[in-house]
Structure 1
Amino acid sequence: MEVLSHLRVVEIGSSAATSYCARLFADFGADVRKIEPPEGDGLRRSPPFTSAGQSAWFAFLNFNKSSIIIDPGAPQASTRLTALIEDCDILIDGRDVDAADCPDVDLASVRQLYPKLIYLETSWFGRHGPYAGLTATDSTVRALAGLIKLVGPVEGPPVHAPDFQTGILAGLWGFIAAASSVLAQTQAGGGRSWSLSIFESSLALSEYLMSEAFACGDVMRRIGTNRFWPGSPVGIYEARKGWLGVTVVTPGQWRAFCDMLDLPELRDEPVWIPSEDCLKRLDQVERRFIPKLKARTAHEWFAEGRKRRIPIVPVSQISDLLQEREKKVPGAIVPVLLGEEEGLTVGSVQRLTLTPPRRGGKVPALGEQQSVKNTRRKLTGTASASSSCVDATRRPLQGIRVIDFSMGWAGPLCTRTLADLGADVIKIEAIQYPDWWRGVDRTPAYIDAQMYEKRARFCFMNRNKRGITLDLSRPQGCTLAKRLVAGADIVVDNYSVDVLPKLGLGYEVLRTVNTRLIMMSMSAFGTDSAYRDCRAYGSTLEQGSGLPSVIGSSGDPPVMSHIAFGDAVGGLNGCAAVLVALIHARTTGQGQFIDLAQIECMMPFAAPWITIHSTGGMPPPRYGSRHPQFVPHGCFRCAGEDNWIVVTATDEDMWQRLAMLLGRPDWAADPSLRSEEARRGIEDVIERTIEAWTLTRDADQAMSDLQAVGIAAGVARLPIDLLNDRHLRSRAFLQEIERAFIGRHPQPSLPIREGSEPYPIRTAAPTLGQHNREILSGLLDLSDAEIAQLSREGIIGTTMLSDGELVTTKKASSG
């Protein structure tokens, strides 16, 4: 039985976010009913199109759903919709983004009658705040979220991908909200009601740079295509054949990289350390190693890098992904039927081993019902007051315990989200090898100054957790870890695939300790991959995902969008996967292993191109800052230094308003310019006219003037701008909390909220070993003498070891 087959989901309105959220439920067997007007969801008309004229984007978002047509003008349209909602468990509402001619429905009455209904509403910016009424698109939201301005050539304009990103991020957050509510209902209580801000959900990608801006100030600028602050070799470089993604972030990796390229004179160049002259230093260093990379092919360098444990990877083309057997075998790429046309798209990346997702499916024709197994166990219905009221103080995951072996960004974001939703997360580090987001510097000066306690990025990702230190390489530490696992529901790790098994903490061992355990490995390529031993970071995942090959203009090198795109995306997918496994465990008592390959989590962003290639259609061009559907669409320079705004016209009416604002009433009145295709013929002229207008205005003033007449526009912000963003402030999105060593600092809230205010942050990130005594004594019943002995032996502690101390400790333990 498919794990979510007992659920019925109704999807109303039109948005990529709600469509993707609902598809994630369909992936695991839920009966998803998509309500459409007679002309169909507007996303059916979104390019790129297959050779048979089907929308590849709509196909990705909607396979395995049923389509139900409701004509809003028909008699009893509202009554019919109300009946469908009354018969579902989860209502996913995208009407605030696009109503899609959805009939009116009295949701308050429905929810009063059926108090266990789970409800998720999605909007671009939330119901209140200065941006609440803004006209938006995917690209204008990404501009405001700090995801555009840092990408592209120094002189500009910033470069960004077409509109296939915010919907995936917001859809994941929506699924996390709704799935956690399903899980909460297996305990007690009524249906939860959530609001989701697409803008705030996109900030999952900006949090790291926001934390660095808080710590370092206004230092980030666009420093060139495939270059990112602070200037390390984190980018894409040309090889003799193909392109190579390089990520070097530690001293050891840099030395191995220099050895591989036979550049001993560069081994001691500290390119990974942020400083004011980092770009100048990087220019000099790149001039030395770029010619060396052209001596071999990307695949030859990849093989060499694996031997030396350097995070490098060939930059995939879309055609490469379709030819890779290991993408098809596990289900990363799956068959999809679009009418009579057979193609491929990106499947579920939540790879649960006991309860796997569906392997492909059919895109519903307008009004087509998909066959649904009759295994439904209805959750909604009338209920007594005691069982239907949601305890506002009880978060949906309260009572769940998580053992967190993860470091960096991806794993900690997954477990932080679980903690934010109420889970008790115990983070395990070691004084020998603490979380590397505390810093990779192990010099005595760094440690004496306790700099490992002062990294804002670590604090951003580890709030609401308890922290303990254990040396897992020694029997006592391993035994204590097993005892913690015995009382847990979930274990998460994002180490290389062999690390925990070699320590005696692999799934096959831990399942004997706890038969209901859910364990998730968040490795880069998956436990069964031929590349399972490859080192990787969030940047490596983007480089190998195929996405850079479709960004930028024709003839340009592949373009990265972010310094570590794959980290946040992996974390959110990991959280979604764990919630599905928890729902199954709560109803069956069965645990399971989750093999999350983080590189696959990046593939949805390239899904439309994968489908186009698979159906034999002509690959769409690379658009630069233009758009496959909207004309005009671009990033335009404003008054001042390096100020930009994204402007687009999404339909004929918006185009006419834009033309009038630009002082071109002749364009507005010209019937030959009503279609996007016609305007594309003079796109260069339109863009020059827009920029002549924006150049005379401050970016915020330009946005205000454009939005005042209903034109989609968003200022291209820097991460530091978000720390004082007026909309985020009005919504209390950034919460100020106190922590030892760094004092008061901002913390981003969840983008999903049950009321008008976000969940308050309960506790700051733990200091190293902060909860050793609390956990060892309170959970494992160790005595004070036993805890003191563990401390003397260095199995626990509260101070990070320097390189010298680490060597001494290893000698002592081996002797």
Structure 2
Amino acid sequence: MLSPYRVLDLSTNHSAVCGAMLADLGADVIAVEPLSGSPLRQEGPFRHDEPDAEHSLTWWSYSRNKRSVSLDITSAEGRAALLNLVDDADFLIESFAPGYLDSLGLGYSSLSERQPGLIMVSITPFGQEGPKSAWAASDLTIWASSGALNLTGDDDLAPVRVSVPQANLHAGAEAAVAALVALAARQRDGRGQHIDVSAQTASMIATQSFILAPAWNDLSLARIGGGLRLGPLFVRFVYPCKDGFVNITLLFGNVLGLFTRRLFEWMHEEGFVDEVTRDKDWVAYLQLLLTGEEPIPEFERAMAAIEQFTLSHTKAELFQGTFDRHVLIAPVSTPADIVDSSQLAARGYWQKLAHPVANELAAFPGPFARFSARPIEYRRRPPLLGEHAAEVKAERRHRAAPEPRQADSRPPLEGLRVCDFSWVYAAPAATRVLADWGATVVKVESTRFLDALRTGQPFKDGVVGPERSGGFCNVNVGKLGLALDLSKPEGRSVALRLADWADVVVENFSPSAMAAWGLDYATLSARNPGLIMLSTCLSGSTGPHASLAGYGTMGAALTGFHELTGWPNRPPAGPFAAYTDYVSPKHVTASILAALDHRSRTGQGQHIDLSQAEASLHFLSPAILDYTVNQRQRSRDGNNSEECAPHGVFRCAGDDRWIAIAVTTQPEFAAFCRAAGHPEWVNDERFALFPRRYANRALLEAMIGEWTSGRDVAELETVLQAAGVPAHRVSMATDVLTDPQLQARGHWAQIEQGEAGTVTVEAPRFRLSRSGPVPPHPAPTLGQHNDVVLRELLGMSDEAITELAVAGALE
């Protein structure tokens, strides 16, 4: 789809997933590496544990479909060679420290003079400007700054990361979306721009808006392994079974509470609960707990009964109950479980590529989305260092970028029309990005089956209500709201007219739902041939698990994130809540924008089938390859890193206060020892060089814990950052809301949200130098824009609207 475009990828960390996504979407991506190779080539795991630039499975993970050239851009010759490449490039991706490329004469101002259509994507820990823009950082410390780390792990131990680093992956995927938004702007006036992506803000999506709780005057969540803690209430998600663990999405409300009721009906049949427990009001149960009408010990008794029930079954038996009993249970999958998945096998997900050095086939994660018109193809294996230098140098290419025209100051996506049937989190978070950048997004809802996100915390002032949910508001800012009853033919007729009006239709129901309503792609595209329709659900629209009514909590278990998060001697902690709902939105938005760009050149619409599980597996690629190549099963390993020592989270003064510290180089270790007041550690034979330091990391980190304990976290940040050591407090929600870097970037916006009054929401997660987003306006209340949509967008008459109301099609 993006075949006309060339990308120069100078990224140096896991943000290389940006170039990988653009390459998978068809762009010609050239990895521009230093002469010694990308730093990713030095990062394990390695094929057969042989450290080598061509054996890094981390490099393999993010370099398929790319070509490689190697340049020393610090030399005049290397800079000249890069500038020649820029002449034919549409995008340049980089992850250097702010100002580094400017110091070489390769900053955006210089490159854009030479190539006005260039879109330059800069990915940094905290952004290009602001009080933390120059802070030393690592993936761990970025994750700490986002608020996500504070929500993950057992409450009696330090907060814990996912064992495959995630922050720069979120940043890279966010950058791919930003690049395509900027491309839409360039289509209008031929002008490129500079994109500023902060890994901190990109990672904050993994808090699912719970960081807003203090600003909305509601209780903040507390960290608890395998579940959620809200004040005195602990909701457990992870349970042991005969052969491992399962995840049970044990939640309440008018939708999720029905699944919980069916679980207790099953348990009652097998004798694990009595009738009274079975027949509790699981729909209104949360409110009963919060008001004290239902004692919390009674709920704890129910969870204990669930554990006895799960211990009597295997993972497979419980998972089968998900389909037979219509409950929400998913196995906590190991890498072997994932690779052996019958669902992934039925969809032909795994892609085998031969590598000349390895001389063997390796199974890689497959397409993150399935496009009906231009499927993702794996055209190239991971490149050898500098493999394509001569090939690229010999090419003469007509640049795809149009000649600059009069600047267009409109939002990049103004004029794009989106019909959004999606609900809860993953897809609505994606369509919010479209609304942020100018698209008209109509969110179709039902008052009879409330969006489950309307029933979840945080609530304004802690008062439960469908118009008071901070989570719903945060992902639906800027949209129009239409309340429509799709069970009625009159409601479906309006939905058909909306699809005729739209450029894009987005839905995340079970695969059969849209067809049952006569709103499937075949029907809609027959009426609107240029339509882009994206369907997303947990497992995809085909295969034996296609009917799985799953949520991101289950997705995190199915895809291995639970198995890879926590402590080796404890049950899986799992990443916070519905983790695949925080990864897949970036793939959803990028897929839509790439399909729209393809349509602008070909007139061709298409259907996109996006499995949230399949997309999210790309964030675990190194662990997956470690199994398919080395037959090694990775599991949770606390905060350990095989590339860094020390690398951990250490207790500070105060209640649940912690600091994340990651020492990545020998000079950093020397600087750390001086800052900690222990210069003698540098020459201690146990710690002097990395191999010994890594071997003795438990002892070293215990000594560091003694130093940090009792010290103020802000003081520690100041001391360590002054020494150039990556360190950041493990930010609580209050820290994130008052973070001076986020305030400097204008990340928080104040809006008037109906009965909730003045509230705080997040602004867009990336910045464009030339194009601004639409100023945020409130998320829709139920049916708020019925008249606007029907009358102004669809041109319906008063009489026709009255007929709809009489028929009960409008809610």
State TM-score, norm by structure 1.
0.91
Contact map agreement 1:404 1:492 (CA 8 A) in 2: yes
Distance 1:708 1:588, change over 3 A: same
Is 2:234 aligned against 1:235? no
Structure-2 separation of matches of 1:11 and 1:605: 19
TM-aligned CA deviation for residue 463 of structure 1: 0.9
The corresponding residue for 1:586 is 600
Contact map agreement 1:463 1:763 (CA 8 A) in 2: yes
The corresponding residue for 2:779 is 765
Matching residue within 259, 276, 287 for 1:265? 276
The corresponding residue for 1:717 is 731
CA deviations 1:408-434 (Å, max 9, x no partner) are 111111111111111110111123223
Stretch moving more, 396-405 or 426-435: 426-435
SS of 1:363's equivalent in the other structure is coil
Matching residue within 255, 258, 264 for 2:261? 255
Matching residue within 440, 452, 472 for 1:424? 440
The corresponding residue for 1:576 is 590
TM-aligned CA deviation for residue 300 of structure 1: 0.6
The corresponding residue for 1:401 is 417
Contact map agreement 2:108 2:194 (CA 8 A) in 1: no
TM-aligned CA deviation for residue 164 of structure 1: 2.3
CA deviations 1:384-412 (Å, max 9, x no partner) are 5xx1x5423x1221111000001111111
Distance 1:105 1:427, change over 3 A: same
TM-aligned CA deviation for residue 689 of structure 1: 1.4
One-letter amino acid of the structure 1 residue matched with residue 424 of structure 2: G
SS of 2:195's equivalent in the other structure is strand
The corresponding residue for 2:400 is 379
Structure-1 separation of matches of 2:369 and 2:455: 30
Structure-2 separation of matches of 1:431 and 1:72: 59
One-letter amino acid of the structure 2 residue matched with residue 378 of structure 1: R
Distance 1:106 1:129, change over 3 A: closer
Contact map agreement 2:72 2:79 (CA 8 A) in 1: no
The corresponding residue for 1:807 is none
SS of 2:738's equivalent in the other structure is coil
Structure-1 separation of matches of 2:175 and 2:388: 24
The corresponding residue for 2:64 is 63
One-letter amino acid of the structure 2 residue matched with residue 38 of structure 1: L
Distance 1:107 1:436, change over 3 A: closer
Matching residue within 624, 649, 659 for 1:645? 659
Contact map agreement 2:584 2:612 (CA 8 A) in 1: yes
Contact map agreement 1:335 1:359 (CA 8 A) in 2: no
Structure-1 separation of matches of 2:651 and 2:679: 23
Matching residue within 364, 378, 383 for 2:383? 364
Distance 1:739 1:697, change over 3 A: same
TM-aligned CA deviation for residue 220 of structure 1: 1.8
Kindly report the root-mean-square deviation, in angstroms, between the aligned alpha carbons of the 2 structures.
Answer: 2.7
Contact map agreement 2:163 2:564 (CA 8 A) in 1: no
Contact map agreement 1:72 1:101 (CA 8 A) in 2: no
Stretch moving more, 721-730 or 92-101: 92-101
Map 1:9-408 → 2, pairs under 5 A: 9-17=7-15, 19-51=16-48, 52-53=50-51, 54-72=55-73, 74-96=75-97, 104-105=105-106, 107-229=108-230, 231=233, 233-249=235-251, 250-262=256-268, 263=273, 264-267=275-278, 268=280, 272-273=286-287, 275=290, 280-328=297-345, 330=347, 332-341=349-358, 342-359=361-378, 361-369=380-388, 378-380=399-401, 383=403, 387=405, 389-392=406-409, 394-408=410-424
Structure-2 separation of matches of 1:106 and 1:454: 45
Distance 1:330 1:729, change over 3 A: same
The corresponding residue for 2:484 is 470
Matching residue within 512, 521, 527 for 1:507? 521
Distance 1:359 1:70, change over 3 A: closer
Contact map agreement 2:626 2:632 (CA 8 A) in 1: yes
TM-aligned CA deviation for residue 632 of structure 1: 0.7
One-letter amino acid of the structure 1 residue matched with residue 30 of structure 2: R
TM-aligned CA deviation for residue 238 of structure 1: 1.0
The corresponding residue for 1:800 is none
- In structure 1, the gaps of 5 or more residues are 798-815
SS of 1:634's equivalent in the other structure is strand
The corresponding residue for 1:704 is 718
TM-aligned CA deviation for residue 621 of structure 1: 6.3
Structure-2 separation of matches of 1:700 and 1:339: 50
Structure-2 separation of matches of 1:745 and 1:126: 25
The corresponding residue for 2:3 is 5
One-letter amino acid of the structure 2 residue matched with residue 541 of structure 1: G
Distance 1:583 1:150, change over 3 A: same
Structure-1 separation of matches of 2:377 and 2:347: 11
TM-aligned CA deviation for residue 232 of structure 1: 6.6
Contact map agreement 1:468 1:771 (CA 8 A) in 2: yes
Structure-1 separation of matches of 2:99 and 2:327: 46
TM-aligned CA deviation for residue 212 of structure 1: 4.1
Stretch moving more, 325-334 or 200-209: 325-334
Contact map agreement 1:552 1:559 (CA 8 A) in 2: yes
TM-aligned CA deviation for residue 520 of structure 1: 0.8
Distance 1:281 1:655, change over 3 A: farther
SS of 1:237's equivalent in the other structure is strand
Stretch moving more, 746-755 or 338-347: 338-347
TM-aligned CA deviation for residue 531 of structure 1: 0.9
CA deviations 1:361-383 (Å, max 9, x no partner) are 311111111979999762236x3
Structure-2 separation of matches of 1:88 and 1:530: 43
One-letter amino acid of the structure 2 residue matched with residue 78 of structure 1: R
Structure-2 separation of matches of 1:234 and 1:607: 28
State TM-score, norm by structure 2.
0.91
Structure-2 separation of matches of 1:328 and 1:708: 51
Identity among equivalent pairs (%): 28
TM-aligned CA deviation for residue 282 of structure 1: 4.5
Structure-1 separation of matches of 2:396 and 2:180: 18
The corresponding residue for 1:636 is 650
Contact map agreement 2:645 2:662 (CA 8 A) in 1: yes
Contact map agreement 2:532 2:607 (CA 8 A) in 1: yes
One-letter amino acid of the structure 1 residue matched with residue 7 of structure 2: V
SS of 1:275's equivalent in the other structure is helix
Contact map agreement 1:14 1:98 (CA 8 A) in 2: no
Structure-2 separation of matches of 1:98 and 1:650: 21
Distance 1:430 1:224, change over 3 A: closer
Structure-2 separation of matches of 1:437 and 1:12: 39
Structure-2 separation of matches of 1:750 and 1:125: 14
TM-aligned CA deviation for residue 97 of structure 1: 7.4
One-letter amino acid of the structure 2 residue matched with residue 570 of structure 1: S
TM-aligned CA deviation for residue 725 of structure 1: 2.2
Distance 1:305 1:104, change over 3 A: same
TM-aligned CA deviation for residue 710 of structure 1: 0.9
Structure-2 separation of matches of 1:517 and 1:756: 29
Contact map agreement 1:13 1:99 (CA 8 A) in 2: no
- In structure 2, the gaps of 5 or more residues are none
TM-aligned CA deviation for residue 674 of structure 1: 4.1
Corresponding residue pairs, total = 783
Structure-2 separation of matches of 1:4 and 1:707: 41
CA deviations 1:441-478 (Å, max 9, x no partner) are 9xxxx9xx992222222111111111112111111111
Distance 1:438 1:71, change over 3 A: closer
TM-aligned CA deviation for residue 216 of structure 1: 5.0
Matching residue within 436, 441, 445 for 2:452? 436
